[in-house]
């Protein structure tokens, strides 16, 4: 079986802080990580490989050269090969253009039975690129996959997470599945994997032509949406800190709420 996993290197948004004076992001020391949902996507692929050792797992990513670190991490976890789409021409892409590029990269890699992606990346939280890749490739998609029940010949049975439960869905293969964190517990890199990862060359696609596209289909140029303005969220004014003993504070709070007819 051939599996392709889409991965993204993201800033760890849990570590991002706002400069309280200037209202801008403090980026110093914010680590770049493998997007958490993508780690679940890779783990899903690796579990299939564990059960069927002749499975080949390929990773594809779009991003700057620094993404090599993330791709080596994926290799060290157990992926067989890694591809990076990298170049100024691809930059500034919104989800619509990104999906065109990644779909091009996937076609350049070739054969696949299942394409896994994370549900969403923590820097954008859009959850769009996975299903959009499926549309570009003409493949069926199931998003929010929280369980894989059975891999059959020509189809796969998965659980799709809903707000109030889940659905059991049988989907034809090849297909795209986007994964949520409830699907599995991503493995750690192995020592052997880390050693081997550094000997595995990362293949790069540097031009649109290498992935069957032209420059006008890539990056900012091909993005229907435009960021018109970005700004730090307006801080809500700080209110009043109550003082005194616990009983005094509780009484004051309750009477304030009662005065405002909230309770």
Partner 1 sequence: MAIVINKEACKGCTKCVKVCPFDAITMVEKKAVIGAGCTSCGSCLDVCPFGAISKIEDRVGGVDISLYHDVWVFAEQREGKLMNVAIELLGEGRKLASQIGCRLCAIVCGSGISDLPAELIAYGADVVYVADAPELANYTTDAYTKTIYEAIDQYKPEICLLGATHIGRDLGPCLAVRCNTGLTADCTSLEIDPHTKGILQTRPAFGGNLMATIGCPNHRPQMSTVRPGVMEKALRDESRTGEVIALKPSFAEGDIRQKVLEIVKNVTETVSLNDADVIVAGGAGLGAAEGFELLKKLASRLGGTIAASRAAVDSGWIDHAYQVGQTGTTVKPKLYIACGISGAIQHLAGMQRSGLIVAINKNEDAPIFEVADYGIVGDLYQVIPAMLEALG
Site for partner 1 in 57-96 (CB under 8 A): 63-64, 86-88, 90-92, 94-96
Burial 204-216 (b: 16+ CB within 10 A, else e): ebeebeebebeee
Question: CB of 183: closest distance to partner 1 in angstroms?
Answer: 14
Half-sphere exposure of 261 (CA within 13 A, CB side): 0
Distances (CA, A) of 97 to 93, 205, 213: 5, 16, 11
Question: CB of 225: closest distance to partner 1 in angstroms?
Answer: 3
Evaluate whether 142 touches 177 at the Cβ level (below 8 Å).
yes
Count of positions on this chain that bind partner 1 (CB under 8 A): 90
E-strand stretches of 63-120: 81-85, 114-118
- For residues 232-261, which are near partner 1 according to CB under 8 A? 232-233, 235-236, 238-242, 246-247, 249-251, 253-257, 260
Using CB under 8 A as the criterion, what x/- string covers residues 120-149 for binding partner 1? --xxxxxxxxxxx-xxx---xxxxx-----
- For residues 198-227, which are near partner 1 according to CB under 8 A? 216, 220-227
Determine if 170 is a binding residue for partner 1 (CB under 8 A). yes
Minimum CB distance to partner 1 smaller for 71 or for 122: 122
Evaluate whether 99 touches 135 at the Cβ level (below 8 Å).
yes
Minimum CB distance to partner 1 smaller for 131 or for 193: 131
């Amino acid at each position: 079986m051939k599996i392709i996993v889409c991965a993204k290197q993201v800033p760890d948004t849990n570590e991002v802080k706002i400069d309280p004076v200037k209202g801008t992001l403090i980026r110093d020391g914010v680590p770049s990580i493998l997007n958490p949902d993508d780690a679940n996507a890779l783990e899903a692929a690796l579990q299939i490989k564990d059960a069927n050792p002749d499975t080949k797992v390929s990773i594809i990513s779009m991003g700057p050269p620094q993404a090599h670190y993330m791709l080596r991490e994926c290799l060290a976890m157990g992926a067989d090969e890694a591809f990076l789409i990298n170049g100024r021409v691809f930059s500034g892409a919104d989800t619509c253009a990104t999906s065109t590029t990644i779909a091009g990269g996937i076609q350049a890699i070739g054969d696949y039975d299942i394409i896994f992606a994370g549900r969403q990346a923590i820097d954008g939280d859009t959850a769009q690129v996975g299903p959009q890749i499926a549309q570009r490739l003409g493949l069926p998609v199931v998003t929010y996959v929280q369980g894989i029940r059975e891999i059959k010949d020509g189809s796969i049975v998965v659980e799709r997470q809903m707000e109030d439960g889940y659905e059991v869905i049988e989907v034809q293969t090849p297909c795209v599945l986007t994964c949520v964190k409830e699907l599995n517990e991503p493995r750690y890199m192995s020592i052997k994997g880390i050693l081997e990862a550094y000997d595995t060359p990362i293949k790069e696609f540097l031009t649109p032509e290498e992935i069957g596209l032209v420059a006008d289909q890539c990056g900012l140029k091909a993005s229907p949406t435009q960021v018109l303005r970005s700004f730090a969220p307006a801080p809500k004014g700080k209110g009043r800190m109550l003082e005194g003993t616990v009983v005094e504070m509780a009484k004051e709070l309750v009477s304030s709420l009662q005065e405002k007819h909230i309770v």
